[in-house]
Structure 1
Amino acid sequence: MAQVEIYAKRIQSKHALFLFDACFAGSLFDMRSPVTEAITYKTTQQVRQFITSGSAEEQVPDVSIFRKQFVAALTTNEADYDKDGFVTGSELGQFLQTKVVNYSYNAQHPQYGKIRNPKLDKGDFVFELKAAKPAITESKPATAAPAKTIVVEEEKILTYGAIEVNTEIAGDLYLDGAFVKKATASSKLTLKNIETGSHTIEIRGSENWKNTAVVTKDQTAYLTAKTTLKPAVSNSFALNADFTVPVAGIDLKMRGIQGGTFTMGSSDSEAASDETPHTVTVGNFAMMKHEVTVAEFKKFIDDTGYQTDADKRTGNYGSYIWNGNQWEKKDGVNWKCGVNGSLRPQSEYNHPVIHVSWNDAVAYAEWLSKKTSQTWRLPTEAEWEYAAKGGQNYKYAGSDNIAAVAWYNDNSGMKTQEVGQKSPNGFGLYDMTGNVWEWCSDWYKDDYYKTSGSSNPQGPSTGSYRVLRGGSWYYEARGCRSTGRDSDSPDDRSGNTGFRLVFVP
């Protein structure tokens, strides 16, 4: 019986009448008396009707009383109870039930009714009668005239699916021009029991958005309402204060830094030959309070599909990894990996991103610039050192005690650590010493300090390597000094190199 119900629902017609001249279970039937609605209403509503020659437990005779009375119902006006020239499925069922019970001497009990489905029980199957003829009885059978062919307009059975809208826009959600509900920014709205087919979805609010969803049976159509407005942020910021920049669902922690004049380089006993002291003045700028994390870099990758230099070098080598004894090149390593080349667990997504090149850092800055109204970039080497010193004169960023402010080879466990866990420096910045080397915008030249300009120097105009500053988890204390310099090729990457960004007013 369940299979019959499935077939009944799948039939692509408005009306269907099932006749069974056999013993049959009545699980589909909803017994009801003849109805009196107008024929025009009955034929516009969908219906699935069933009539059987007996009840579930009865044996039906080979000489069918049911069949003869069915013919009589369609060739006489006896089954037309309301005498309107039509016999409905309900009238037919009642007629057969009455006649067959009578002529079988209460031995056979036909059943009739409609499918138990709220969308398929509103209409009625309708037969148009010819001119009335005498009623047919069992004692005086009549020759049945052929029934008139009924032409039924085909109509697909309604099926349903769902629409899910992920919206960055706040406003009113409309479906096919009708208001549905309020939408808040960065929310997910699910519309269920939507008729299959094409539907227009709109959001009218802080900005207007419109799209088309094609719904298929028992499936969900997904739409994303992206804002075309940039976040309400600007290049203005409070100096010597913390603030956040919201972008792509995260808040970048920033520090407004008031520019000034300082001595760049060092003359102490640990200083290298490329650290010649000289006086430099930098302007105001805002800097990230900590290095870009794996989670923050992932937002960029997810939004753009960008391939890092490590991704592009598959088959050559992905990046340099630390195998516990030495550095080695390893294929298949990228920004998702830790220092040993293994995929990071989710718990390490608050560590600084590594295995990223200078080129990758610039691409991330360009993405942020498009997502906000600011112009993001890598810091110049002068800005980086000014920020690292933090208005103080310590050997390391924030202290002469490196263990208080940095992760380096004596305390790092020979791997990166979560950002922001050590003490900040005088500007409230974290990990300017240790954890990972940080890319700067400048080309590197070992004697550049001897000819450098004094006001916002931008570095040499050409070169083969870009500047790295700050040391890392792998280096000893000397390599993590605030004035120490290093460099690498712009497309190179390793397990101890990351970055942070700045923007200027």
Structure 2
Amino acid sequence: MTKKIACWLCCLLFFGTGWGQQESGKSQPAKNNADTAAIQVIDVLFATNDDCDLYINGEAKGSVLKTDFRYLKLAPGDYRYRVKSKTTGDELSDVFTVSEEGTNEVFLDMLYVIDEKAAERTRLQNAGFPLDTATQNKNFAGTKARRTVLTKEEAQKETVNFLLSNAVLIKGGSFTMGNNRAPARDEAEHSVTLSPFYFSKFEVTQHQWQSIMGYNPSANKGCETCPVENVSWEDAVRFVRRLDSLSNRKFRLPTEAEWEYVARTGGKDEIDKAGGQEAYIKKTAWYFSNAQSKPHPVGRREPNAAGIYDMTGNVSEWCSDWYSPGFYKVERSRLNPAGPVTGKEKVIRGGNFKDYVGDHFRPSFRNKRTPASKSNEVGFRVVLSLSE
């Protein structure tokens, strides 16, 4: 990718676009003067392949055009940029460093982002997942036959059917749960065998919660396809019981053994194919570096090898088990373990949009909260036993 970008920049700078010409009206690096001599600043070149608006550390810096480049004067240090395509509205955000030595160039690869977002939308449509409201309104504008407002009963039926149709069959099997090298010392390794079960492809969304429960508790409101959050473990159980009464099925929260088993699908090979742990997290998770301090619509990052989305990031997820730091050192339940009989805190699994510590993205990482506590970092997904 780096070589490709470098070649692309060279072609634009010296052939056919005027980038290599010193014409009046073109953006040129400003010369140092008395006003900037006191503080060392560096000329940083910004180039793009699609017209976009540029923000650096939240401050608007004007536009960068595909037919031209921009120079900005910045002091040495670390920065975060955000750009928004003038064509599609798609956004790209990343960090960059301005150094005192060498060439400081930032390439804003908007066409890659636009293509990736278009592929995501196609994949979601093919999977039967509803697009966000704005996209739905655009796609179905003028289609009078489509009902844009569902009755309460219709919305509930739609949610139940969606959860059932997007439940992925996870084949049973045995694996080593836990990690003896974990710093918290609450992940004692032990062998576990699980029966087959159905695991929800997506985290429960705000729209689904609203349709079933009649209100939206989320802190990140205004995003129907974002995961519902700010719900306690007790709230999640009430949602599940309501689903049961509407569907005549037995939904439930996953056990932490089931959650870890699904998160480990693909193992080291999956991570190696992605280019290593850091690359795997970037592809599959909304986390500190790319989430812009908020959850995002479910299913927008790449799924894991089991076809499950957002296991690594977006929001952390409630599990059914009570938490005990030493439970698996003493009680080595082998078949479908459900954790301690009682306790004070419930298990939470998975990283979230605020996480930046690599340890939190491990499949075996354990967290916990009291059953009544709520956080905008925590949501949940549902499962079904095979008999259901």
Which TM-score applies when normalising by structure 2? 0.55
Q: Note closer, same or farther for the CA distance 1:271–1:425 as it changes in structure 2 (3 Å cut).
A: farther
| Shift in Å, 1:452 | 2.8
Q: Deviations over 1:267-292 (max 9, x none)?
A: 34x55311111110011110110110
Structure 1 residues 246 and 472, CA gap change in structure 2 (3 angstroms): closer
Matched to 2:264, the amino acid is K
Q: Match for 1:279 among 172, 183, 191? A: 191
Structure 2 residue corresponding to 1:410, chosen from 269, 283, 289: 289
Equivalent residues, number: 232
User: 1:206-238 CA distances to partner (integer Å, 9 max, x unpaired)?
Assistant: xxxxxxxxxxxxxxxxxx9979xx98xxxxxxx
Separation (CA, whole Å) in 1 of partners of 2:318 and 2:290: 23
Equivalent of residue 352 in structure 2, options 439, 464, 472: 472
Which of the two has greater helix per residue?
Answer: 2
Q: Which residue of 1 aligns with 2:180?
A: 267
217, 224, 239: which one aligns with 1:335: 217
Is contact 1:365-1:376 (8 Å) kept?
yes
TM superposition shift of 1:490: 0.3
Please list the CA deviations of residues 337-356 of structure 1 after superposition, one character each: whole Å capped at 9, or x if unmatched.
31xxxxx22xx111110100
The equivalent residue for 2:207 is 295
| 1:395 Cα offset (Å) | 9.2
Residue 299 of structure 1 aligns with an amino acid whose one-letter code is S
Relative to structure 1, is the Cα distance of residues 282 and 187 closer, same or farther in structure 2, using a 3 angstrom cutoff?
Answer: same
1:297 partner letter: W
Is the partner of 2:166 in helix, strand or coil?
strand
Partner of 2:142: none
Q: Secondary structure at the match of 2:193?
A: strand
Is 1:463 the equivalent of 2:338? no
4+ runs deviating over 2 angstroms:
224-227, 245-252, 391-401
What's the CA shift string for 1:28-70, capped at 9, x where partnerless?
xxxxxxxxxxxxxxxxxxxxxxxxxxxxxxxxxxxxxxxxxxx
- Describe how 1:310-389 pairs up with structure 2 within 5 A: 335-338=217-220, 344-345=221-222, 348-389=223-264
Structure 1 residues 391, 284: CA separation in 2 closer, same or farther (over 3 Å shift)?
farther
Aligned pairs for 1:13-412 (under 5 A) are: 247=160, 253-268=166-181, 270-302=182-214, 335-338=217-220, 344-345=221-222, 348-393=223-268, 400=277, 401-412=280-291
Task: Answer yes or no: is the 8 Å Cα contact 1:397–1:433 preserved in 2.
Answer: no
Match in the other structure for 1:436 = 315
Cα distance change, pair 267–395 in 1 and its aligned pair in 2 (3 A) = farther
User: For residue 366 of structure 2, what is the aligned residue in structure 1?
Assistant: 485
Q: CA deviation at 1:393?
A: 3.7
Distance 1:364 1:437 in 2: 17
Distance in 1 of aligned mates of 2:152 and 2:289: 50
Unaligned runs of 5+ in 1: 1-185, 189-223, 232-244, 306-333, 339-343
Shift of 1:392: 2.3
Letter in 2 for 1:389: R
The one-letter amino acid paired with 2:219 is C
Change in CA separation of 1:252 and 1:413 when aligned onto 2, cut-off 3 Å: farther
The CA distance in 1 between the partners of 2:363 and 2:163, in whole Å, is: 29
Alpha-carbon RMSD: 3.0
Q: Which residue of 1 aligns with 2:379?
A: 498
Deviations 1:172-198 (A, max 9, x none): xxxxxxxxxxxxxx999xxxxxxxxxx
Instruction: Compute the displacement of 1:262 (Å).
Output: 0.5
For residues 247 and 439 of structure 1, the distance between their equivalents in structure 2, rounded to whole angstroms, comes to: 20
Distance (Å, rounded) in 2 between the aligned partners of 1:466 and 1:503: 20
Deviation, structure 1 residue 390: 1.6
Give the alignment partner of residue 453 of structure 1, picking from 320, 333, 336.
333
Q: 1:440 to 1:226 in 2, by over 3 A?
A: closer
Counterpart AA for 1:489:
T
Report Cα offsets for 1:140-168 as digits up to 9, x if no partner. Answer: xxxxxxxxxxxxxxxxxxxxxxxxxxxxx
- Alignment-mate amino acid for residue 275 of structure 1: E
Question: Relative to 1, partners in 2 of residues 1:394 and 1:497: Cα closer, same or farther, differing over 3 Å?
Answer: farther
**Residue in 2 that maps onto 1:328:** none
Distance between the aligned counterparts of 1:297 and 1:275, measured in 2?
A: 32
| Bigger Rg, which one | 1
Distance 1:287 1:297 in 2: 18
1:187 and 1:418 map into 2 onto residues whose CA distance is 23
Equivalent position SS for 1:247: helix
C-alpha displacement of 1:251: 6.7
Q: Which residue type is aligned with residue 494 of structure 1?
A: S
CA distance in structure 1 between the partners assigned to 2:180 and 2:367 by the alignment: 17
**Contact 2:253/2:320, CA 8 A, preserved across alignment:** yes
Q: Which runs of 5+ in 2 are unaligned?
A: 1-145
Give the whole-Å Cα distance in 2 for the aligned partners of 1:290 and 1:225. 22
Structure 2: how far apart are the matches of 1:277 and 1:460? 16
Match among 417, 421, 424 for residue 303 of structure 2: 424
TM-score if structure 1 supplies the norm length?
0.43
How many angstroms does 1:396 deviate by? Answer: 7.3
Amino-acid identity (%): 38
SS at match of 2:267: coil
